Amino acid sequence: MKSLAFLVSSLLLVTGVYAQDKGYRDTYYPDPYISSKGPVENWKLMRQLVMTGFGSSSVRYEKDKIPVGVKPAWQGTAWKGEKVHTQVLLWTNKPLAELSVTVSTLISANKDIIAGDNIEAGFVRYVKTDEFGQGCGHRKPQDFDSSIVADAIDRIKVIPVAANTVQPVWISIRVPATAKPGKYNGYIMIKADKNYRLSYSVKVVDKTLPPASDWSYHLDLWQHPAAVARVHNVPLWSKEHYAYMRPYYEMLAKAGQKCITTSIMNEPWGHQTYDDFPSLIKWIKHADGSWSYDYTLFDEYVSFVMSCGITRQINCYSMVPWSLSFGYYDEKTGRDTVLKAAIGSAAYYNHWIPMLQSFALHLKKKGWFGITTIAMDERPMKDMQVVIDLLKAADPEWKITLAGNYHPEIEKDIYDYCVASSLEFPKEVLQERITNKKPSTYYTCCTENYPNGFTFSPPDEHVWLGWYAAAKGFTGYLRWAYNSWVASPLTDSRFRTWPAGDTYQVYPGPRTSIRFEKLIEGIQDFEKIRLLRELYTKNGDMARLKKLNAALAVFDIRKLKTITATAMLADVKKLLEE
């Protein structure tokens, strides 16, 4: 295992990370990773003590290594309604007490503007990571190479910078849908030991990307509400908890999220996460053997998430939990009880039938039944067949979601079907599913070294995911965790199982990340590809359509063994700018 070229601060400093509870967006958390020795001699070769320039959004810049390929200016290209980004870099061989960044209004030659409130600057922060290793499975930190990587994006006003370090700044420009086509010029002012001014421009093309709420891409990042309560140190389901959750869910809605993750039983995933998943439904078995179900919390939570902008689908986990144990309150004994029942057993059937019938009636009264699914992940086909038959017996209109292997025997019974990235739907099956408006997506997890969204993954692999979906005909993408945080997610993304970063894509605060921003870039590209295909088909522009389809044909996971995602995207991205 390599030694880390930095000093770790005291426990008091690290545990101070969560001091952001009061005004969490604007509070600085100390950096426990301070460069110590590093290649000091290289830093002495700098032409001046502090230097700046534009880097690439596709690179995680090392904290203690002088960056290469830096440019004095940057020009981006965007559709109307699109968000684009770049990185500004500052590197210094003397300590800076305060670094701040401001952005100007973008102005075209015709005096049209993109106002400054559409442009954000965030300091890129560093987090400890490990390596893929064997992928899934329990792991000990000492068995894996560790390092620090750039990932979290902190929207604070100022930050200190140590000597002999690099401080990246993430710049996001959201082009209004009402912007007029043309080239817009502006500048970024960096205040360090003195002021540094960097010029940049954005070329707006005459095409419009619809708002995220209208994107067709079926994005399903699983939410973990209990994790929010823990990192902000507030009671679960309290008013404070909901207040803290809102910006996380609104940020997810702006990425085009379609699904609400709900747990209809305790621990559908068998305590595999740092924070447990409590049930949103209280199951009560009365003394006479009858059942009742309290949906108060379920209704409250779903209504809340919908108010944040996520309204398309409610996924309910799970009738096939990993531990096959089912908790409920036993009125006769006066305590919480656990039923252990095999899939397909009489006990299992008797436990679920009355609940599913009651739940269906409740959802119909709420007007939610048509958008609700009973969801399972990575379950054997025989278990799925039992569940399908049981659901049909309870109410034949129940919809089912499954993430796992492709089983042709049950495909027609699955409404929302998500297969592993190594698999594809047969072409005729996929076409029929799309015709019937059934979500047909793919997922990545701890199984794949690439493409993936670990904290050590190349950023452009997240962009690549959107292009792969477009190339293979998938309607979207699933990842099992949006915010299932580890013990200290702002500083250490490693976990007792799975490669680092597998459990979350954004950070407490809420703070976005390089990974999350690049995921959005790939989704936007997917939507642009869809719109261009429609446009070229409508206009009979077969030459451009053929060129675009040919570009998509190169997107094959096996090619990532020898070609980076960045290289594969370099030329084809230009086709979306025409």
CATH number at residue 425: 3.20.20
**Spatial separation of the C-alpha atoms in residues 79 and 524, rounded to whole Å:** 10
In a domain, 288, yes or no: no
Q: Report d(CA 334, CA 26) in Å as an integer.
A: 47
Same domain, residue pair 254 and 150: no
Q: What is the pLDDT of residues 453-467, one digit of tens each?
A: 999 999 999 999 999
Q: Which of 191, 208, 225 is the last residue of a domain?
A: 208
Same domain, 252 and 194: no
Is there a domain that residue 185 lies in?
Answer: yes
Q: Are residues 160 and 66 in the same domain?
A: yes
Residue 338 counted as domain residue: no
Nearest alpha-carbon partner for 575 in 555, 545, 538, 534 = 545
Res. 116: pLDDT tops 70: yes
Mean pLDDT along residues 538-564? 96
Do 56 and 142 belong to one domain? Answer: yes
For every residue of 90-131, DSSP letters joined together read EEESS-EEEEEEEEPPEEETTS-EE-GGGEEEEEEEEEEE--
User: Which of 165, 188, 208 is a domain's end point?
Assistant: 208
pTM: 0.94
Q: Say what the pLDDT of residue 27 is.
A: 73
pLDDT at residue number 26: 58
Q: What is the rounded average pLDDT of the residues 6-24?
A: 34
Report d(CA 522, CA 525) in Å as an integer: 5
CATH number at residue 104: 2.60.40.10
Residues 242 and 165 in one domain: no
User: Per-residue confidence at 39, pLDDT binned at 50, 70, 90?
Assistant: low
Q: Do both 554 and 483 map to the same domain?
A: yes
- pLDDT for 321 equals 86
Last residue of a domain, one of 190, 208, 226: 208
In which band, very low, low, confident or very high, does the pLDDT at 41 lie, cut at 50, 70 and 90? Answer: low
pLDDT tens-digit map of 343-373: 999 999 999 999 999 999 999 999 999 999 9
- pLDDT category at 40 given cuts 50, 70, 90 is low
Query: Residue 523 belongs to what domain range?
Result: 216-277+295-322+343-577
Q: Is residue 182 part of a domain?
A: yes
* Residue 304, both tokens: 């809340």
- Res. 15: pLDDT tops 50: no
Examine the pLDDT at 300 and tell me if it is beyond 60: yes
Residue 41 placed within a domain: yes
Quote the DSSP letter at residue 64: T
pLDDT at residue number 7: 32
Residue 181 shares a structural domain with residue 245 = no
Residue 19 has pLDDT above 70, yes or no: no
Query: 332 in a domain, yes or no?
Result: no
Q: What is the DSSP letter of 180?
A: P
Domain match, 412 and 508 both:
yes
What pLDDT score was predicted for residue 410? 97
Residue 564 placed within a domain: yes
**Number of compact structural domains in the chain:** 2
Residues 178 and 220 in one domain: no
Q: Are residues 173 and 240 in the same domain?
A: no
My answer on whether 167 and 273 are in the same domain is no
Does residue 327 belong to any structural domain of this protein?
no
Same domain, 200 and 240: no
Please give the full DSSP string across 262-285, using - where no structure is assigned: EESSS-TTTT-SSS----SSEEEE
